Chain A
Amino acid sequence: MAEASYPDDLLYHCEHDWAKVDGDVATFGITWFAQDALGEVVFFDPPEVGTSVTADEFYAEVESVKAVSDVIAPLSGEIVEVNTALAEATEAINEDPYGEGWMVRVKLSNPSEVETLLDRDSYVGGLS
């Protein structure tokens, strides 16, 4: 995805992660800004289904050709699904960071944490 984009229907974490909340389950990924800063992602090391993640702490690693980066959980909970397709197609993280590039689904343990996340405009405002 060549042009920056930040969908309205997502919530954002200042470490350049997004969450799409649907009831008590949320999908996580990294933002356009994060994938652009990383460059081409060549490796995604996901957590296992069943592991707990804590808001503001890392749950996975992404590597580009030149750098390793921790992926920060925007919210706390338990991993219920991992995007296994990324193992063979890490380029989805660059090409479609909000779609095919999603990373994990999490059953939220503390849905009120949602209030700590940023809306699109607040997140984008912090980038400049």
Chain B
Amino acid sequence: MTSSTLKRTALFESHVDAGAKIVPFAGWEMPVQYADGIRAEHMAVRDKAGIFDVSHMGEVEIQGPGAGAFVQHLYSNDVTKMSIGSAQYALLCADDGGVLDDLFTYRLGPEHYLTVTNASNHESDYAWMCAHTEGFDVEVTDVADRIAMLAVQGPVAREIVQTIADMPLPARMTASRGIVFGREMLVCGTGYTGEDGVELLVDRDDAPAVWAEIVRRGAKPAGLAARDTLRLEACFHLYGNDLSTDRNPIEAGLGWACKEATGFVGSEAVAAARAAGPEQKLVPFKLTGSGIARQGNPVVGGGEVTSGTMSPCLGIGIGMAYLPTERATVGDEFEIDVRGKTRTAVVASKPLYDKETDG
């Protein structure tokens, strides 16, 4: 893909002005880090607050009398558990149970849902949804181009946003419309860092002013690289690394987000995988010696690393890997072939970084 076909978020100029390194990511020109570097951004989110432009993520609105039945038909979780204003994590599965995407959905009204998609899957998700509307009285709308998404994360993230909000911020895993810094937006008590915070879904024209004000009030701009190290310390899955169409949710450790009794597309395959038990399981790991394992490194004796990095908080190599189930218990040691060198690792519990015990 050439740069001329890459999309820019509403905040592109803000990033360049802040000294960001811009990289192509899932069809977008995105800031991977700013002038002070990944470590400083990572620690700002753990200790205080950081702000991420995640406008590359897509949004799909589902409305109409059949909206609830429609999302239940496609999403793996029990959508009837969502009250108005609540958020839910679910998978979009293919008929064979392979994971097409992992999604956060907000119920905005009795017949109104908003789903956030991964940038790399947005177009195929939307096409998949549109291809399944038959028999449902529902309107599915791609609203990604209109919406910018800012994630403000960290122990003081809420405090910063609250000072410019006209309403109390929504609790964790809920969402509400409100006015922040004079702009109407959807405020969501969600995130991808393992810290408290909010995500703001705002009209793209309003995004630069809101971004600038939150930065002015002390949130440090943070890029995709810090977002990745933060999510991995917290053991959140990344689609394309830890999730793919070749893996079912049971292998991926996401059985908790699948309620097969609802009969969603792929539920029979997921139920069969659950009953049979997975041959391999996705587990978090820590390296016990030096080195860093990376995505694609083979596990000696079977399995594969799907995410790996150096943990800025722990100072050791961490990651997630699919391991044979019989060797995937917390405390089990295994070896990873890292570019021809054998590195030793141990299966760890979630999250890899725990502020209470590791802080």
Q: Footprint of B on A, CB under 8 Å? A: 2, 39-40, 42-43, 45, 61, 63, 65-66, 68, 87
Contacts and interface: CB of A to CB of B under 8 A. Distances in A.
Contacts of A87: 290
12 contacts: A2-B35, A39-B37, A39-B225, A40-B37, A42-B292, A42-B310, A42-B312, A43-B292, A66-B225, A66-B228, A68-B339, A87-B290
A65 B225 contact: yes
A116 to B, nearest CB: 28
B294 interface: yes
Interface residues of B, number: 20
Nearest to A2: B35
Nearest to A40: B37
Given A39-B37, A65-B310, 11 more contacts: A42-B292, A42-B312, A43-B292, A61-B339, A65-B39, A65-B309, A66-B38, A66-B225, A66-B228, A68-B294, A68-B339
Contacts of B33: 39
B62 interface: no
Contacts of B37: 39-40
A43 B339 contact: no
A61 B38 CA distance: 20
Q: Is the interface of B mostly helix, strand, loop or mixed?
A: mixed
A68 B227 CA distance: 19
B32 interface: yes
A39 B310 contact: no
A4 B18 CA distance: 19
A45 B289 CA distance: 12
Contacts of B229: 65
A63 B38 contact: no
Nearest to A36: B21
B218 interface: no
Contacts of A40: 37-39
A87 B310 CA distance: 14
B291 A45 contact: yes
Interface string B24-39: 0000000011010111
A65 B310 CA distance: 6
Contact of A45 (B39, B225, B290): B290
Nearest to B224: A66
B310 A43 contact: yes
A68 B294 CA distance: 9
Contact of A43 (B21, B38, B228, B291): B291
